[in-house]
Amino acid sequence: MHKFQRILLSLVVAALLVVGTGVATKAQDKTGWPETFIIGVYPGDNIEKAIASNQPLADYLTKTLGVRTVIITGTSYNAVIEAMRAGRADAFEVGPFSYTLAAAVANADAIAVADYSTTVNLERIPGYYSVMITLKGSGIKSIADLKGKTFSFTDPASTSGYLVPSNDIMADQKFTDVSEIDGFVGKTVFAGNHPASVLSVAQGKTDAGATFDDNLADQVKAGAAKICGATDDHATNPFHSALTQEQIMKFYDECPDGDVVVFHQSPLIPQTPFAINKDLPESFKAAVTDALLNIYKDTELVNALGRYYVDPRTINKELKTIDALYDPLREIATNLKIDLTKR
C-alpha cells in the first residue's frame, strides 16, 4: 500500500469513528462552556444540610463535565429564580411551580426530572403529593372545616405548599378567585418553608397547614413531630402513594388526639425538574443532560443523592418537551390569576 493510500485510509477510519460514536465531537467542542457551573437550590431552614446533600452531585458533574461545579442557596424560591435571572446561577432545582416562574422570566429550560427514590424505576414519571395537615382533636376533617380557622402555607412560589393547596381549596369551595380563600379561612400565613409549616401545626400556632408528602417522613425522622401513619422513610411513607379519602380517614381515626394527622391529599404533581439556562452552549447542555440521565447507573451515587433523573419523554411518547409536563401547573396558575411574568 502506497503512503498516500495509508494516509487516506487512516483519515476515513478516524472520520467513521467520530460519526459512529457522536460523543467525540461533543467532548472536544467546549466553546463557550462556563468555567464554573453554578447550581442554585433552596435550602429551607438548613443551608449547610442543603449544600452537603447536593455536594455529591456537584462532585459528579465536576468529574464528568470537567467543569468546576458549585452549589449556591437562596433565602426563598424566588431568590433562587432571581439568581438565575441575574446570571448568578446557571441551573437550579427548586420545585415544579418555581420552574414555571423561571421558565417565564429567567430563561430556564427543564432538561431532566428528578426521581427522589433510591429504587430505580425508569418506567414511571416521578411525582409527589401536596397534603393538608391538622392536629387530631381540632375538628378539621375536610377542606370545608377550614372555615374560620388559621392555615399555614409555606412560600408563595411553592408548588405543594401554596399553588396546589390553594387550587384544591378553590375547587372544593367552588371559588372563582383566589382572594376568596382569605374570606373563607380565618387567617393564612406563610411559614417560610416546609418543615416550618409542619411545626406551625404541631405546635398549635395554626390550626392546619400544607406541605409535601415526603416532608412528613423527614419530620418523623428528625423527631420534630408525631405524624399519624407517616414513617421515617420515603420508600415506605404511605402518603407518597395515591390514597383514597377513605384510606386517609382510616389513619385519621386511628390517630390519638394531639398528634399531627393528614386530612387531604392532592392529585399527583410532576416532580422537580433540573433546569438550565437556555443560552448556555448546546454542547454543554447536552453534556449536562447526559450526565444527569446516567446517574441511575451508579447505585452509590443514587444512594448518596437520594435521587436520580429521567427524561419523561421516554415514558410518555406524546410528551413533546419536558417543559410541557408542567403545563397543568400553568393552568392552575391561570386559575389562581397568577401572572408568571410578574413574579
**SS3 assignment, position 318:** coil
- What is the reported pLDDT for 20? 37
- The Cα 269–Cα 85 span in angstroms is 25
Over pLDDT 90: what percentage of the chain?
A: 83
Domains of the chain, first to last:
31-125+271-342 (3.40.190.10), 128-269 (3.40.190.10)
153 — pLDDT class (breaks 50, 70, 90) = very high
Contact by Cβ (8 Å): 77, 157: yes
The pTM of this model reads 0.82
State the average pLDDT for the chain: 90
Has residue 179 got a pLDDT over 50?
yes
Over pLDDT 70: what percentage of the chain?
A: 92
CB atoms within 10 A of CB 82: 18
Has residue 264 got a pLDDT over 80?
yes
The DSSP string of 138-190 is SS--SGGGGBT-EEEE--TT-IIIIIHHHHHHHHHHT-SSTTHHHHHBSEEEE
Question: Which residue's C-alpha cell is 418555581?
Answer: 98
- The Cα 37–Cα 39 span in angstroms is 7
343 — pLDDT class (breaks 50, 70, 90) = low
Closest CA to 168 of 267, 57, 75: 267
Contact by Cβ (8 Å): 93, 63: no
- The Cα 84–Cα 78 span in angstroms is 10
Q: What is the pLDDT of residues 207-232, one digit of tens each?
A: 999 999 999 999 999 999 999 999 99
- What is the reported pLDDT for 46? 83
Report the range of poorest mean pLDDT among 9-18, 52-61, 259-268, 313-322. Answer: 9-18
- What is the reported pLDDT for 12? 38
End-to-end CA distance of the chain: give it in Å, rounded: 70
- The Cα 247–Cα 250 span in angstroms is 5
- The Cα 199–Cα 244 span in angstroms is 25
Has residue 103 got a pLDDT over 90?
yes
19 — pLDDT class (breaks 50, 70, 90) = very low
- What is the reported pLDDT for 157? 87
- The Cα 19–Cα 113 span in angstroms is 29
Element counts in the chain: helices (H) and strands (E): 13, 13
> CA dihedral defined by 82, 43, 101, 115, rounded to 10 degrees?
140
9 — pLDDT class (breaks 50, 70, 90) = very low
- At position 340, the amino acid (one-letter code) is L
Has residue 16 got a pLDDT over 80?
no
